[in-house]
Every structure is written in C-alpha cells, then in structure tokens.
Structure 1
C-alpha cells in the first residue's frame, strides 16, 4: 500500500495522482488537475486548514518553499506529520524534485511522463532570435517575474528573456509606467496566479504585443511539462508575428 499523501501544491497533486494511484488522500482547493480529481479539500496553498490535513491522518504532506508558508509546515511537523518541502527554481531542479517526491509517495518506478518531459526539455532548441518580455504575475499592485524563478527559466529555454531577470527580488513590485517604458518585445500574461484575460491585462500595455498564456504550462512542474514547450511556444510565436 502506498503512503497516505496530502498535497499542498497543485502541480505536485497532479504528479502524484497520475503516478501513484491511491496515494493521494487530500489536496488544496486550487488543485484542479487531473480532471475529476475526487479527494477531500484542505483549503488554499497559503491558508490550508491544518485541522483538515491532520484529520486525514497523512503519512506524508508534500509542500513547496514558495507556495506554502513556513509556519504551516512547522505546525504540521510539530504535530508529528512528515512534510517534504520542494524547492524549484528551474527545469533541472523540477525533474530532481519530482523524482524525490514520487519516490517518497511510493511510485514503483519512474513514470513514463517524467522521462518524456525530461527528454523534451533536454533536447529543446530555442529559436535563434531571442525576445525580451515583462511577465506580470499580479495586478493591483503590479508584480512581475524577477530573479531565480521556475517560470523565468521556462521562458528562457523558449527563447524569451524577461526584463527583470537580474532584479534582487524574485517577484518585484514595479509601477506600470516602468513596465511600459521597458519597451519589451512582448508582455507575457499568464492566467494564474492572477487571471489575466483578453479583457483584463492587455489594455494596460497599449502599443505592445501581448501573449496570453496558460499559467499551468508556465508555472506548474508536473505532467504539464510534457506539453509546455508546444503550448507556450505556439502562444509566444503567435504574439510575435
């Protein structure tokens, strides 16, 4: 029998659910994949209901240093629950951490999708012409990708360098006027964590090309990694035409 696992990270929820059937006994309200996932919900990633987590009697909770609060992790550990905290800032780290998580969750072998994803990203050849971008992840206030982010590494491998990649903050707050003045080739607008849409986001950047992209393919490290280069690449190329 696999261990009883509660996931506090949507991408890890998907990875565990498709790789170790029966292991997942709880997930956050934001865990939308795989479709039809039917497990008890324990609240949000930033505000999980710890009493619900403990009531599920997990053998293991999987979390992430960026998505989950240290205080919640420590409270679970003090209650006697093992918590595996991932740190993912780039593609190679994602593959390493996914292997570690799935091993801890009782995967009998390395899943095929993980091998496929690693092969795709290892052999990926970005376009010869590199583009610049600003990548908002929040509005009111405007926040963008900064240094050492998984999403930034994903875009870089697809030929897009975001303007604030050397900023001292990982998710700096930048005034809209400054974002416009940076005059990037592209403004990349994901649909999570802030849900940018055709009506909500592009209007703030008149005269600049905007690419509306899947936040799951940009920020999740899990089975979506097999599709991300194609899905994101198509969206980026269409915006740059």
Structure 2
C-alpha cells in the first residue's frame, strides 16, 4: 500500500470502524470504542471507552493523527475537546446518499480512494437490484419504555423508503416517542422490532399483537437498517432477498 496520509487513526463510531478495516486500514487503526465489535480480527485494536463516554485522556495519550466521529453518536463537547489535539472528521449520516458520499470522502482523505470507489459501486449495484414490490405501511421500533420509533430525517427511514416500506411515523423527526394506542391508530401492515439499541424479544411480539392483531410483526437485525459504511453491502444483499419475500 502506498504511503498513507494518516497512520494513527481512532474511530468513535462502530459502523465506521468496520468501514475503516474493510478499506484496508486496520494497521492504521489504533483505537476503537467497546461497541466496535465488527469485523472479525479487530480484538487487538485498543478500546478507548464508549461512544458517549470515551476516555479522552487515553485518546490524547495515544496521539492519533485522525479521529472519525459522528454528530449523532458522539457528544459535541468530546469532539470539541479532541479537535484541540488532532484532526477530527465529524460525519453526519441521515440517508443512504449521505453514507455513500462519506465512504467516498473518507476514501479520498485516507488514501484508499480506489477501494472506497469499488465499495460504492457494489453498494449502488445492490441498491439498484432491489425488488420492485407494492408498498407496505411499516412501524419500526428502536426502544421500549417509552416506545420509540424513527422519523423522516434518519438513515433508517431512508432505507425503509428505498425498499417500499412507508413509515407510519414519517411526518415526525428523529426518534419520536409513541405508545401502542397510537400504533393501533396507524394500523401498519408490518411492524419491525429492531435488535438494537433495545434488545427486543419474542415476548414483545405478543405484547404488540394484543394491540395490532392484523399486523405482521418481525424481529429484525437492526444492523441491516442502521449500520452505514461497508455493512451496506451485506445489508442490501439481505434486504433484497427479505423484501422479495414480503
């Protein structure tokens, strides 16, 4: 690999940690959060805390020359402090297009433009190959107590939209709170219970079924809908098959 512009990289975002490794930068990656568990082989990269509570002193001691963060996943005050010590790339991903542009931008910045371009081409091809199916109304839950769903300015909403799944909470922003009485009023054809950040289980299907007996309810791998970056290749391949089955 030719000389790279940055050789001491820390990632504060799990999906972007996976992206950096898949772009061939694992030898340059010197720090990750404890939530950065993908891909395999990352165990030797030092953990520097969580996304919301990174060990700032440890990060500074590692002397990174590049940190990748995210506006939503990381705290503004942590990012502002780290900017005093090194270059910090703050990503903002609210759509598939945002994610694709960020892969290209990071590829350019980090000296792996060709690999990033090949990844973008693969993601785009998978997205273009998605099945054409009649639309379904959908509710996508990310939390319980209180029940929380997703609004129209999120990456998850855009993925649903691209696959012909009409978000019944799509008139709202970010991550609105709701309840099962309101859900009943929407009567979605499909209800998806994400595996993250709340670990929904079969018992929650039964709870919702008592309110919405006519809805199809599924436990779904949240990574397929919320992890941008290189995970999009696996996600869109899965979603193409899954959507065709609905």
Deviation at 1:83, TM superposition (A): 0.6
Query: Given the alignment, which residue of 24, 27, 34 partners 2:29?
Result: 24
- Flag the 1:237–1:187 CA change in 2: closer, same or farther, 3 A: farther
Which residue is 2:151 aligned to?
146
Which residue is 2:182 aligned to?
178
Which residue is 1:47 aligned to?
53
Which residue is 2:239 aligned to?
232
- Flag the 1:20–1:130 CA change in 2: closer, same or farther, 3 A: same
TM-score with structure 2 setting the length: 0.89
Following superposition of structure 1 onto structure 2, how do residues 67-216 of structure 1 map, counting pairs within 5 Å?
67-78=73-84, 80-107=85-112, 109-111=114-116, 112-121=118-127, 123-167=128-172, 169-199=173-203, 201-206=204-209, 207=213, 208-216=215-223
- Flag the 1:219–1:153 CA change in 2: closer, same or farther, 3 A: same
- What's the CA shift string for 1:85-120, capped at 9, x where partnerless? 111111111110111123222325233333211222
SS in 1 for 2:224: helix
- Flag the 1:184–1:139 CA change in 2: closer, same or farther, 3 A: same
Deviation at 1:71, TM superposition (A): 0.9
Distance 2:14 2:98 in 1: 17
- What's the CA shift string for 1:35-55, capped at 9, x where partnerless? 131200111111111112112
Distance 2:70 2:205 in 1: 31
Distance 1:162 1:108 in 2: 35
SS in 2 for 1:135: strand
Deviation at 1:129, TM superposition (A): 0.7
- What's the CA shift string for 1:179-205, capped at 9, x where partnerless? 233110011111111122323x31221
Distance 1:36 1:210 in 2: 35
Distance 1:125 1:232 in 2: 8
- Flag the 1:209–1:108 CA change in 2: closer, same or farther, 3 A: closer
SS in 1 for 2:36: coil
- What's the CA shift string for 1:46-72, capped at 9, x where partnerless? 111111211221101101111111111
SS in 1 for 2:50: coil
Uncovered stretches (5+) of structure 2, i.e. residues with no partner = none
Query: Given the alignment, which residue of 42, 64, 67 partners 1:61?
Result: 67
Residues 46-55 or 59-68, more deviating: 46-55
Uncovered stretches (5+) of structure 1, i.e. residues with no partner = none
Distance 2:221 2:179 in 1: 24
Q: In 1, are the aligned partners of 2:151 and 2:171 still within 8 Å (CA)?
A: yes
